[in-house]
Structure 1
């Protein structure tokens, strides 16, 4: 009986290992196109992680990979924050579930220790990005009637622009490496830029891609080429601002910011004006309980208490730092900053290609965190968690290899 039980357990474990990469690939693609499928696949991910007994390796993963450790620490602090929150247990649990993708980082890292498996997931990222770009243009030219968001994208404007801005950065590196498909990657890079500025003009994505282009220049060029890159970007952006009607959202954002900074703020009901209002009151909420915050899931309730005016109601300050700070205080902010800083320093230990992409991903996450709540938001949170795991799993693989040869 023991022999049969052991054999069955081993078979289940081996079969679960076989499906790890397939489910990860499916997760990457589903993130781009279907929230429902992504939820189902992420649940399968957890089941496979348990059945494959990869959870046994979790302490070792956290020890070897600081990024995974900080991610799990942030999730643990959200759980701790539910012990002193001002809202119901149900509301606190709901917020914890929104940050559950932080657990995916160590989980996926343990799945992607093999170069072959990482290659499959990068290919899934490439295919999903190309499809997102293709469908965006098909919707833009009214060939496909799938535009339910008001923008030519499956997801919202912000989400799409974050995805495509990083894809442009990815394609730039691939094109520069003089590989077999250099022309293809260069064409995709140009299409991505056109899509970001003329098809789905998300300001967050536009800011990210400009920053990523400059980062690319710092990573791959010498000083003279870097200077030329800065001049080129400045010239192109000047032309865009002054001669393209597609620059209206950026000009509107600048005008809203200038109006809000006046002694008597104007246009507070604009997109940027509302954001500034959210941030102002978020700071006041943090000042009320600066050390540990108001507790997990408390933002909506505490904000409504402080700001009863329905014109400025909010369940999300559109800033990850403020979202965490209100709930978990400076302690939570320290952990989130630790999570970001760990990516900066750990990226330096990666091979060049993974290091460059990890640096670009970190820059994307920081910029997105300033104007949105990417870890809180389902699609962006799952995407960032998956891509972070994909970039930093190389470190896990190297450390595992060193340990096995010691």
Structure 2
């Protein structure tokens, strides 16, 4: 009886966290911080059961904090916390998941799918009525990149299902339509990369391959009808201004990285200087503080040392997820692993690994994905 009550409380906490993830950036941060503080203060079993994951998370946060402090002052170090603390939700999620039964994980999977569907429907409704609050591309007053990215796990859960119901097919179509109309290319590319990763995990299961092909065709048709391929042309620079802008920014970021290659300049210390823009890109010069590349961002902020730390943490997470999958064959490991791969691809064109809501979702999935392996990994 006590165990059932405890499980219901844990499920309620996770449900509230996920609901906030889809609706409010401020709320999800407060809830996540409260969950982390509670786990550290009262979750002794959490600390013992997930030592390895806690160590990885603290190593990542603390290392970049120290590097940022060496780069400037306490303010610079605090900025690094703002960009990295989200990883601490992973061991919290692992601890919670380890106490849940399989039926509870199925509930969480369904929640992801149906919450994403509702989120997508609300966006499409806002789009249809021309809500000025979303500027044609926003949902719940959130940047389009983030709004689109948080829909990816639901699509992955549907793609790897043993049997897809008609309801799931409709939801997949709704999510694909919303992601297309949000009109942010990064999450679409991340979705395709994640889907292909899931296909590899499934040993190229023909059902999943067929679904991925249908998904690619569906999104291609939607792009052609609703957006226009000329706006998503990656090869004609005269029509792909966002890529040209990124080239301008990357050129300047790389030059600044060369100045302090070991420890970098600290987080959020980059700003374009149009006087330094090389002639070929001069007409596309723009004022920007976002490097639009996670790898260049970590190199600029924390140097080669910080860059190496990021790759070590990602490698450790992927290794744990693969080990968990090989032992348990659970779909959470597949979705989590695939989501990280998708993020790694998308990170080539934006600050994906340092965006609060995207990281909270991804690291939460990682925690659940490895939770059944906690004893062997500790």
TM-score bracket for the superposition, by shorter chain length: 0.7 to 0.9
Please, which runs of 5 or more residues in structure 1 have no aligned partner? Answer: 1-14, 260-266
- Aligned position for 2:51: 62
**1:123 CA displacement:** 4.0
**1:375 CA displacement:** 3.0
Contact 1:292–1:331 (Cα < 8 Å) also in 2: yes
1:247 to 224, 229, 232: 229
2:269 to 267, 284, 299: 299
TM norm structure 2: 0.81
Contact 2:264–2:300 (Cα < 8 Å) also in 1: yes
- Aligned position for 1:9: none
Cα distance change, pair 241–46 in 1 and its aligned pair in 2 (3 A): closer
The answer on 1:168 being equivalent to 2:155 is: yes
SS of residue matched to 2:288: coil
- Aligned position for 1:287: 258
**1:92 CA displacement:** 2.9
- Aligned position for 1:327: 301
Q: CA RMSD in A?
A: 3.6
- Aligned position for 2:115: 128
**1:355 CA displacement:** 3.0
**1:289 CA displacement:** 2.0
Cα distance change, pair 281–110 in 1 and its aligned pair in 2 (3 A): same
- Aligned position for 2:363: 385
1:73 to 59, 69, 86: 59
- Aligned position for 1:201: 183
Please, which runs of 5 or more residues in structure 2 have no aligned partner? Answer: none
- In 1, Cα distance between the equivalents of 2:138 and 2:302? 37
Contact 1:109–1:390 (Cα < 8 Å) also in 2: yes
- In 1, Cα distance between the equivalents of 2:58 and 2:273? 30
Contact 1:108–1:386 (Cα < 8 Å) also in 2: yes
TM norm structure 1: 0.76
SS of residue matched to 2:348: helix
Map Cα deviations across residues 134-182 of structure 1 (whole Å, 9 max, x no partner).
212221222x9484343152222111221223321211112xx12xx62
Cα distance change, pair 298–126 in 1 and its aligned pair in 2 (3 A): closer
Contact 1:161–1:205 (Cα < 8 Å) also in 2: yes
Cα distance change, pair 51–122 in 1 and its aligned pair in 2 (3 A): farther
**1:26 CA displacement:** 1.3
2:30 to 19, 36, 40: 40
The equivalences for 1:3-402 within 5 A come to 19-54=9-44, 57-58=46-47, 61-63=50-52, 65=53, 68-86=54-72, 88-116=73-101, 118-142=105-129, 145=131, 147-151=133-137, 153-154=139-140, 155-174=142-161, 177-178=162-163, 182-197=165-180, 199-220=181-202, 222=204, 245-251=227-233, 253-256=234-237, 270-294=241-265, 296-297=266-267, 299-300=269-270, 311-350=285-324, 351-352=328-329, 353-396=331-374, 399=376
SS of residue matched to 1:141: helix
Larger radius of gyration: 1
Cα distance change, pair 37–342 in 1 and its aligned pair in 2 (3 A): same
**1:44 CA displacement:** 1.9
**1:325 CA displacement:** 0.9
Map Cα deviations across residues 263-292 of structure 1 (whole Å, 9 max, x no partner).
xxxx89x32222122222222222222222
- Aligned position for 1:7: none
Map Cα deviations across residues 81-130 of structure 1 (whole Å, 9 max, x no partner).
133113x4224313322321122222322222123354454344234212
Aligned length: 362
- In 1, Cα distance between the equivalents of 2:205 and 2:229? 30
**1:307 CA displacement:** 5.3
Map Cα deviations across residues 195-217 of structure 1 (whole Å, 9 max, x no partner).
323x2222112212222343344
Cα distance change, pair 354–234 in 1 and its aligned pair in 2 (3 A): closer
